[in-house]
């Protein structure tokens, strides 16, 4: 595969991941609305402010650089591709929706 084909493949993959990311954000909003609609007002005060699909910055810069280099070889997992797409070093956490807000 020549560099131009690689670049096109990479860009197409980036775009598909961005679509997936946007769909995940929309799904999260729907889940949150559904959860809140069945909660009592006292339960609602325990709902955390941060999103279920949370992106947290990665502190270890060496590790980040390593992941970026790995991504550029076009053999990444989705999480590693998101590191490049978002233009910064991040770790993706998907916080599972839970009905236990008492903690």
Domain assignment of residue 103, yes or no: no
pLDDT of residue 26: 80
Burial of 43 from C-beta contacts in 10 A (0-12 / 13-18 / 19+): middle
Domain assignment of residue 89, yes or no: yes
- The answer, yes or no, to whether residue 22 has pLDDT greater than 50, is yes
Domain assignment of residue 99, yes or no: no
Q: Are 1 and 9 in contact (CB under 8 A)?
A: yes
- The answer, yes or no, to whether residue 66 has pLDDT greater than 70, is no
Domain assignment of residue 26, yes or no: yes
Domain assignment of residue 8, yes or no: yes
Q: Are 49 and 32 in contact (CB under 8 A)?
A: no
Report the C-alpha gap between 57 and 78 in whole angstroms: 17
Residues of the domain holding 37: 3-94
Domain assignment of residue 102, yes or no: no
Q: Going by C-beta distance under 8 Å and a sequence separation of 6 or more, which residues neighbour residue 27?
A: none
Domain assignment of residue 47, yes or no: yes
Encode pLDDT of 48-62 as tens digits: 444 433 333 433 344
Task: Work out how many domains the chain is built from and give that number.
Answer: 1
% of the chain surpassing 90 pLDDT: 0
Domain assignment of residue 100, yes or no: no
As a whole number, mean pLDDT of residues 11-27 equals 81
């Amino acid at each position: 595969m020549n560099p131009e084909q690689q670049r096109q493949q990479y860009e197409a993959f980036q775009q598909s991941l961005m679509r997936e990311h946007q769909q995940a954000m929309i799904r999260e909003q729907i889940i949150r609305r559904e959860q809140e609609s069945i909660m009592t007002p006292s339960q609602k005060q325990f709902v955390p402010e941060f999103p279920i699909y949370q992106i947290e910055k990665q502190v270890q810069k060496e590790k980040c650089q390593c992941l970026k280099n790995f991504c550029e070889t076009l053999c990444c997992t989705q999480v590693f591709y998101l590191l490049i797409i978002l233009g910064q070093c991040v770790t993706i956490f998907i916080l599972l929706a839970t009905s236990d807000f008492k903690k």
